[in-house]
A and B are shown apart, each in its own frame.
Chain A
Amino acid sequence: MAWLGDLSETRYWMYLLLVPSLVLILAVVLYPTIYGMQLSFREMRLNRPALGTGFVGLKHYLRLYADPVFWTALWNTAVWATAAIVLEFLLGLVAALALNRNLPGTKILGVLILLPYFLPNVVAGHMWSLLLDPRLGVINDILVRIGILETYKAWFADPATAMAAAILVEAWHGFPFFALLLLAGLKGIPSDLYKAADIDGAGWGAQLRLITLPMLKTVIAAAVILRVIGLVNSPDLLLILTNGGPGRATQVLSLYAFQAAYKDFNFGYAAALSVVMFVLLMLFASAYIRVARVNKD
């Protein structure tokens, strides 16, 4: 081990420390991603090997442009991500503001509120499938008992409510992340600001608008961008809850790409869908970061 100690005294030590992780990331992230990008210009259908794996130029992208399901999925992705983010942000902000008052006994509530974020998508999906089940769902039963519903409703079978129900489940799963980050942000705001605002006679709403939200801008920007990436990239929850249905009411891009690969074995088309998703996500991320930064100055 002595030679390792000697090695650590050389000027390349800090780079050497990065080597294992860089090799891994190159092997399991960068190489597959580049491979996937060039796959989007090639034919690759596992169930039809006779077609070969030759280059087909923009074939997949042209098909995608003409594919109505793609446009539906793109629209649904926007709805899914936007609605979930807004709901999660609002719930997270309310939770963080309440927890930040540090009332006795609320610490344990704060821990309990974080729990859903750490639970598996699969279990979250099944929990809510049962809660919202058209025959056995306890939510239906409660809503009927208090008179909001006439009869049990098949939330995930009705195109009008499927997306909303899925967003509710996602909000349950994801809002603790916002609560966690926003609470950390709130703790960083000097209390002098609020005292000064009190003296100036600023009310609760004004303080929220003029102090709290501006001071939280960096945290909000980070939280939103991480959640958008997660929401757009991962089809898990929708795969379990609705599988894109009924019809195409909850079909999103990531799920469509996954189905193209996993069900149709059309890897080329799935890759093209993922590349488009990736480019859109990058455009969103850079535009969002720019806007967040400009506002800060």
Chain B
Amino acid sequence: MATIARSTRLWDIVTYAVLGLLAAFCLGPIAWTFLTSIKVDDDIVTKDMVYIPSRITFDHYVKIWTQSDYPTLVLNSVAVTAMTVAICLVAGTIAAYSFARFNYPGRSQLMLGYLVVRMFPAVLMIIPLFIVMRSIDLLDTKIGLALAYTSFLLPLFVWMMKGFFEAAPKELESAARIDGSTRLGAMVRIVVPIARNGLVATGVFVAIAAWNEFLFALMLTTSQGARTWPVGLQLMVGEFQLPWGMLAAGGMISIVPVVVVFAVVQRVMVAGITAGAVKG
């Protein structure tokens, strides 16, 4: 018994060490970016590495917010993200419900179809989307970009949400049906409220993906009117001298919302990602 206890304790130490190292690996770059964002330029661009800032400044935050179009970019991103989530919530929820609750000819083929479209290369879609959107005046618009985002986020939403609907108990729904509720009534009043945690988590996952997206935005937006923050941040690299402090500040501003919502819904979201990926 003594050896078992000792070897367990050894494994415990190894476990903590491994997790501590991995957490440091994951958080180190974020922490360094934060440090950079509050350092003065003399502490960033220096011959001898400055680990502890000689003084703390929020100039980079002020500068990126007042001397660049970052506020506009952030607002554009908020609008595009909101539209993407709205489209997914409406079109995706009912599709996921259909897959989760009914059995009908063509169901599994259609489900497979929703999975396979995730394999289509973004670049292959972006070129025709660019041409089509230019001809119907959707190029460089927020709604155009949001529609483009549904190409990869709607199928993902349907697959994740299907898992949450399948996990929701059927009994209440059946009871409502017996009481004379229509299928629509049962879906809206019973099933959707039961699965609301899943809806929130899936919605947040889609929101984060839309908020972070870079490639479509780079290709499909050209002006201030619709350009999102990732594209704007990337373009600042060439625009400003020694942009490190500003880039770090911009990066911190844009990941704060992600970190906050992730912290709030991570448990449910993780369950949804797992279900959507493994059952797929």
Binding site for B on A (CB under 8 A): 4-9, 13-15, 17-18, 20-22, 24-25, 27-33, 35-37, 39, 44, 91, 94-95, 98-99, 101, 103, 106, 109-116, 118-124, 126-128, 130-131, 135-136, 138, 141, 172, 176, 180-181, 184-185, 218-219, 222-223, 226, 229, 232-236, 239-240, 254, 257-258, 261-262, 267, 270-271, 273-275, 277-278, 281-282, 285
Q: Is the CB of A180 within 8 A of B274?
A: yes
Chain A residues contacting B277 (CB-CB under 8 Å) are 181, 222-223, 226
The 4 closest A-B pairs by CB, nearest first: A274-B124, A120-B212, A8-B184, A17-B98
C-alpha gap A24/B263 in the complex (Å) = 31
Chain B residues contacting A135 (CB-CB under 8 Å) are 45
Chain A residues contacting B132 (CB-CB under 8 Å) are 31-32, 35
Task: Choose one: A24, A180, A240; the contact of B150 (CB below 8 Å).
Answer: A24
C-alpha gap A273/B124 in the complex (Å) = 9
CB proximity to A under 8 Å, residues B200-232:
208, 211-212, 214-215, 218-219, 230
Interface code B253-272, partner A: CB below 8 Å = 1, 0 otherwise? 01100110011001000110
Query: Closest residue to A30 on the B side, CB-wise?
Result: B117
Q: Is the CB of B127 within 8 A of A116?
A: no
C-alpha gap A13/B182 in the complex (Å) = 11
B53 at the interface (CB under 8 A from A): no
| Shortest distance from the beta carbon of A256 to any chain B beta carbon, whole Å | 9
- Chain B, interface SS category: helix
Q: Is the CB of B92 within 8 A of A14?
A: no
C-alpha gap A275/B127 in the complex (Å) = 12
Task: Choose one: A7, A22, A136, A281; the contact of B44 (CB below 8 Å).
Answer: A136
Query: Closest residue to B110 on the A side, CB-wise?
Result: A18
A106-B15, A131-B29, A274-B121 given; A122·B230 CB < 8 A: yes
Interface code B119-136, partner A: CB below 8 Å = 1, 0 otherwise? 111111111111110000
A8-B184, A278-B124 given; A115·B26 CB < 8 A: yes
Task: Choose one: A37, A118, A218; the contact of B262 (CB below 8 Å).
Answer: A118
| Shortest distance from the beta carbon of B46 to any chain A beta carbon, whole Å | 8
B175 at the interface (CB under 8 A from A): no
Q: Is the CB of A184 within 8 A of B118?
A: no
Task: Choose one: B32, B36, B46, B127; the contact of A270 (CB below 8 Å).
Answer: B127
C-alpha gap A109/B44 in the complex (Å) = 29
Q: Is the CB of B44 within 8 A of A29?
A: no
Chain B residues contacting A277 (CB-CB under 8 Å) are 121, 123-124
| Shortest distance from the beta carbon of B51 to any chain A beta carbon, whole Å | 8
Q: Is the CB of A261 within 8 A of B26?
A: no
Interface code B71-114, partner A: CB below 8 Å = 1, 0 otherwise? 00000000000000001001110110110011010010010011
A36-B128, A131-B32 given; A8·B233 CB < 8 A: no
Category for how many chain B residues contact A: 35 or more
Q: Is the CB of A8 within 8 A of B29?
A: no
Query: Closest residue to B119 on the A side, CB-wise?
Result: A229
Chain A residues contacting B49 (CB-CB under 8 Å) are 136, 138, 141
Chain A residues contacting B123 (CB-CB under 8 Å) are 233, 235, 254, 257-258, 261, 270, 273-274, 277
Chain B residues contacting A285 (CB-CB under 8 Å) are 119
Interface code B28-67, partner A: CB below 8 Å = 1, 0 otherwise? 0110110010000000111001010000000000000000
| Shortest distance from the beta carbon of B39 to any chain A beta carbon, whole Å | 11
A8-B183, A126-B233 given; A119·B258 CB < 8 A: yes
Q: Is the CB of B19 within 8 A of A98?
A: yes
Chain B residues contacting A126 (CB-CB under 8 Å) are 33, 233, 237, 247-248, 251
C-alpha gap A110/B127 in the complex (Å) = 39
B27 at the interface (CB under 8 A from A): yes
C-alpha gap A232/B113 in the complex (Å) = 20
Chain B residues contacting A20 (CB-CB under 8 Å) are 90-91, 94-95
Q: Is the CB of A234 within 8 A of B122?
A: yes
Interface code B140-169, partner A: CB below 8 Å = 1, 0 otherwise? 000000011011001100100000000000
| Shortest distance from the beta carbon of B240 to any chain A beta carbon, whole Å | 13
C-alpha gap A240/B237 in the complex (Å) = 10
A21-B158, A30-B117 given; A103·B16 CB < 8 A: yes
Chain B residues contacting A274 (CB-CB under 8 Å) are 121, 123-124, 127
| Shortest distance from the beta carbon of B199 to any chain A beta carbon, whole Å | 15
Chain A residues contacting B266 (CB-CB under 8 Å) are 111, 114
